[in-house]
């Protein structure tokens, strides 16, 4: 049921997919003050309000405290406003058919908008039509549109810096776009060598902006250093099926979370100093060439770039044992983790580091 989940400190929003009648819902994660230190927590998350949404919810993100940007499979991008005083949702602004095939005016021309990212007031969306749109929350028309930015489907987008964005596509490429430049070309292209495995998600390290994580169709987690090379620094065998989302913990970036079609949700932890941990990872073969660069200055370089097999410091835990249906979405903030699955359930985990 839920396609996406994200949160501000005490509420989170979800969107559904593959229903005849899809909905955007706002949930209260419960009063965090009540969460006892002993790990016992009694409050159930409860529904505050919801609103009908046209098409599958493909992606969503909070623009600010009360506005949510939602990407639809119909190609429409909508801003919903959550009125906190009377707990209602309303459509605040809508860009109809921001993504489209062939012709914007024909009735069936909408193409699914697959990813959205906001940096108030700017909103960037990408879609199956390979188009990149830049919106401003207060402007009626798109500020900038790059038609045919990609020949294949763009799956996800994130901000690298305020003027630069990163996109991943279905032929295993990671592209950097500089929105200041008028050229409709990416400023840099990175790609997985050879096998062209589609990438489904991308996230940037919150503090060290050159570190980027992506997840692919084969469940592989790739860590990229965008300062050097055109290939990933390391490839980590992870899930058995499509990795749908990857997120660095926003305030504790030694932790990374990934979820996948195979029904698992993994917590990657590089903060532990226990070396010689038995590990079920293997290092991507072609990454070794780059390690020599990054190992020069161990103390400064993030753990994400220095994980060579001999002193592997990463600890990985699967947070959902025995789940069979896909985990479509996750978000993490502070001690909270929210994820939604195809078993039509949403889970909230409040003691991430307990």
Chain positions contacting other proteins, by CB under 8 A: 1, 17-20, 56, 58, 73, 101-102, 111-112, 114, 128-130, 148, 150-153, 170-173, 189, 191, 193-196, 198, 217, 241-242, 261, 322, 324-326, 342-345
Nearer to other proteins, 122 or 150 (CB): 150
User: Least Å distance between CB 239 and other proteins?
Assistant: 11
- Cβ nearer to other proteins, comparing 151 with 298: 151
Q: Quick one: tokens of 112?
A: 């699914």
**Closer residue to other proteins, CB minimum distance, 143 or 189:** 189
CB 306 to other proteins: min, Å: 29
Nearest to 321 by CA among 282, 271, 261, 263: 263
Contact of 341 with 2, CB cutoff 8 Å: yes
Answer left, alpha or beta for residue 65, where phi above 0 means left and psi between -120 and 50 means alpha.
alpha
- Tokens matching residue 200: 């489904």
**Among residues 329, 266, 354, which one has the least CA distance to residue 70?**
329
Judged by CB, which is closer to other proteins: 197, or 291?
197
| Residues forming a β-bridge with 248 | 256
CA distance 337 to 139: 33
Min dist CB 129 to other proteins, Å, is 7
Of residues 289 and 325, the one with the C-beta less far from other proteins: 325
| Token pair recorded at residue 270 | 């590089």
Query: Least distance to other proteins from the beta carbon of 162, Å?
Result: 25
Report in angstroms how near the CB of residue 184 gets to other proteins at its nearest: 12
Distances (CA, A) of 101 to 74, 89, 134: 11, 30, 18
* Nearest approach, Cβ of residue 243 and other proteins (Å): 12
Q: Which is nearer to other proteins, 160 or 343 (CB)?
A: 343
What is the C-alpha separation between 293 and 103, in angstroms, rounded?
A: 48
Looking at the Cβ atoms of 108 and 274, the one nearer to other proteins is 108
Task: Report the residue number, 49 or 291, with the smaller CB distance to other proteins.
Answer: 49
Between CA 299 and CA 302 the distance in angstroms is: 8
Pairing of strands 243-248, 255-260: antiparallel
Of the candidates 7, 82, 2, 65, the one whose C-alpha atom is nearest the C-alpha of residue 247 is 7
Quote the least distance from Cβ 298 to other proteins, whole Å.
34
State the minimum distance, in angstroms, from the CB of residue 293 to other proteins. Answer: 24
Tell me: cis bond preceding 121? Omega within 30 of 0 counts.
Answer: yes
Q: What secondary structure letter does DSSP report for 288? A: H
Q: Which is nearer to other proteins, 42 or 140 (CB)?
A: 42
Neighbouring CB atoms inside 10 A of 318's CB total 13
Residues 6+ apart with CB under 8 A from 21: 52
Q: Cβ 272 to other proteins, closest distance in Å?
A: 31
């Amino acid at each position: 049921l839920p396609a996406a989940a994200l949160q501000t400190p005490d509420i989170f929003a979800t969107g559904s997919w593959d229903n005849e009648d899809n909905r955007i819902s706002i949930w209260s994660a419960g009063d965090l003050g009540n969460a006892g230190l002993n790990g016992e927590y009694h409050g159930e998350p409860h529904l505050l309000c919801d609103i009908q949404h046209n098409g599958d919810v493909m992606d969503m993100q909070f623009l600010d405290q009360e506005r949510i940007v939602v990407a639809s499979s119909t190609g429409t991008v909508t801003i919903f406003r959550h009125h906190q005083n009377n707990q209602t949702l309303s459509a605040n602004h809508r860009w109809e058919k921001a993504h489209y095939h062939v012709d914007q005016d024909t009735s069936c021309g909408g193409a699914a908008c697959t990813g959205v990212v906001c940096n108030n007031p700017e909103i960037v969306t990408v879609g199956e039509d390979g188009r990149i749109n830049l919106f401003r929350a207060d402007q009626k028309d798109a500020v900038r549109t790059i038609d045919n930015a990609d020949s294949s489907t763009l799956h996800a987008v994130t901000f690298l810096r305020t003027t630069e964005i990163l996109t991943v596509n279905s032929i295993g490429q990671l592209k950097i776009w500089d929105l200041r430049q008028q050229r409709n070309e990416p400023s840099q292209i990175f790609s997985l060598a050879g096998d062209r495995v589609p990438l489904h998600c991308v996230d940037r390290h919150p503090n060290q902006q050159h570190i980027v994580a992506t997840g692919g169709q084969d469940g592989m987690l790739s860590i990229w250093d965008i300062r050097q090379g055109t290939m990933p620094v390391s490839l980590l065998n992870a899930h058995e099926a499509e990795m749908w989302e990857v997120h660095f913990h926003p305030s504790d970036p030694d932790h990374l979370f990934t979820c996948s079609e195979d029904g698992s949700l993994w917590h990657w932890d590089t903060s532990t100093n226990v070396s010689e941990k038995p590990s079920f990872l293997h290092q991507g073969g072609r990454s070794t060439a780059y390690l020599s660069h990054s190992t020069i200055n161990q103390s400064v370089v993030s753990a994400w770039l220095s994980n060579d097999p001999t002193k592997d410091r990463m600890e990985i835990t699967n947070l959902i044992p025995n789940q069979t249906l896909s985990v479509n979405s996750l978000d993490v903030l502070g001690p909270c983790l929210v994820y939604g699955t195809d078993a039509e359930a949403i889970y909230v985990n409040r003691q991430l580091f307990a």
